[in-house]
């Protein structure tokens, strides 16, 4: 009799646990349902170009400018997942946006803004002398329209998915790194640490100097940036030359299953960094190239 009572209690306990697990699962699903339901719909279309009006252009240096584009309403969001990019073109201008062969020029860019920046998005663009899109951005004036399609990209980020990121950026490759860093550091529930190595030719080539300095000042224990210049000014106390294995060892989190190294830069830099990381013991799954 006693055995039957114990068995009955055990069955009731197991049933209770099962119901509890179902309730937790349903509650979690409902929470994500409400989160997604209340999340504003993004303005991007992955299949079709949509046009956005340039409302402010700020010249940052002789060949770098910041472009702010209005979204349809003051509360609209772009809808670009963290670390992804979008295709940009000037196809809405009949006499612009084409190359010398008459073909539309389309190039990927990553905004420096997040969906927490409602009503607008911003691009920081470096305009190269021979760049296919650079000419069009140089000619762009407030009131002009940019054609945008997206989102695009393989990078998918969830808060806390790694303990630490090592970021290797060269030139304009800083834009996806800055976007990811902002998203992490501005999320109070995300404790991920970030170590950024940012390489350029000269000091004047460094993009987002002030913004990176603000992140380093606001999050001194979680965000570190180390600059490397090929042609440094007198008195420079950062890295000199190219990013070496020694610099990677000193300024990146050591190889581990809970870290990831992100890299984005010119092809020669990406190739060199891949070789250095492999030599230092970073497995392929610990790396991602934008």
Q: Are 51 and 143 in contact (CB under 8 A)?
A: no
CB atoms within 10 A of CB 273: 25
Q: What is the CATH number of domain 50-152?
A: 2.40.30.10
Domain(s) labelled CATH 2.40.30.10 in the chain stretch across 50-152
What predicted TM-score, i.e. pTM, was given to this entire model? 0.81
In the chain, % of residues over pLDDT 70: 82
Banded pLDDT at 145 (limits 50, 70, 90):
very high
Q: SS3 sequence, 103-159? A: CECCEEECCCCCCCCCCEEEEEEECCCCCCCHHHHHHCCCCCEEEEEEEECCCCCCC
Spatial CA neighbour of 136 closest among 103, 105, 171, 110: 105
Spatial CA neighbour of 174 closest among 149, 200, 153, 155: 200
Domain(s) labelled CATH 3.40.50.80 in the chain stretch across 164-289
Assess whether pLDDT exceeds 60 at residue 33.
no
Over residues 135-148, the mean pLDDT reads 93
Place of tokens 């699962």: 25
Q: What is the CATH number of domain 164-289?
A: 3.40.50.80
Element (H, E) at 5: helix 2-38
Catalytic residues: 85, 109-110, 264
Assess whether pLDDT exceeds 90 at residue 30.
no
CA distances from 247 to 134, 228, 262, 280 (A): 32, 9, 15, 11
Q: What pLDDT shows up at residue 94?
A: 52
**92 compared with 122, residue with greater pLDDT:** 122
Q: What pLDDT shows up at residue 132?
A: 83
Assess whether pLDDT exceeds 90 at residue 204.
yes
Spatial CA neighbour of 248 closest among 216, 287, 210: 287
CB atoms within 10 A of CB 163: 14
CB atoms within 10 A of CB 251: 19
Banded pLDDT at 170 (limits 50, 70, 90):
very high
pLDDT in tens, 64-77: 999 999 999 999 99
């Amino acid at each position: 009799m006693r055995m039957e009572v114990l068995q009955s209690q055990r069955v009731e306990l197991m049933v209770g646990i099962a119901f509890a697990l179902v309730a937790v699962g349903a509650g979690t699903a409902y929470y994500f349902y409400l989160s997604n339901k209340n999340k504003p719909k993004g303005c991007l279309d992955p299949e079709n170009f949509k046009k956005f009006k340039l409302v402010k252009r700020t010249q940052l240096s002789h060949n770098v400018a910041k472009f702010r584009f209005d979204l349809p309403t003051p509360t609209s969001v772009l809808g670009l997942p963290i670390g992804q990019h979008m295709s940009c073109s000037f196809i809405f201008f009949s006499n612009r946006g084409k190359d010398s062969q008459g073909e539309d020029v389309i190039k990927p860019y990553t905004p420096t803004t997040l969906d927490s920046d409602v009503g607008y998005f911003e691009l920081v663009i470096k305009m190269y002398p021979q760049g296919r899109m650079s000419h069009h951005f140089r000619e762009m004036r407030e009131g002009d329209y940019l054609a945008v399609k997206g989102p695009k990209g393989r990078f998918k980020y969830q808060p806390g998915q790694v303990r630490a990121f090592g970021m290797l950026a060269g030139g304009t490759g800083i834009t996806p790194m800055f976007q990811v860093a902002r998203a992490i550091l501005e999320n109070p529930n995300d404790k991920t640490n970030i170590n950024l190595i940012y390489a350029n030719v000269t000091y004047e080539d460094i993009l987002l100097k002030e913004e990176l300095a603000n992140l380093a000042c606001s999050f001194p224990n979680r965000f570190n940036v180390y600059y490397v210049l090929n042609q440094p000014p007198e008195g420079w106390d950062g890295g000199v030359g190219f990013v070496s294995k020694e610099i990677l060892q000193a300024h990146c989190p050591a190889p581990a299953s809970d870290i990831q190294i992100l890299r984005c830069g010119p092809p020669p830099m990406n190739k060199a960094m891949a070789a250095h990381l492999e030599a230092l013991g970073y497995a392929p799954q610990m790396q991602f190239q934008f």
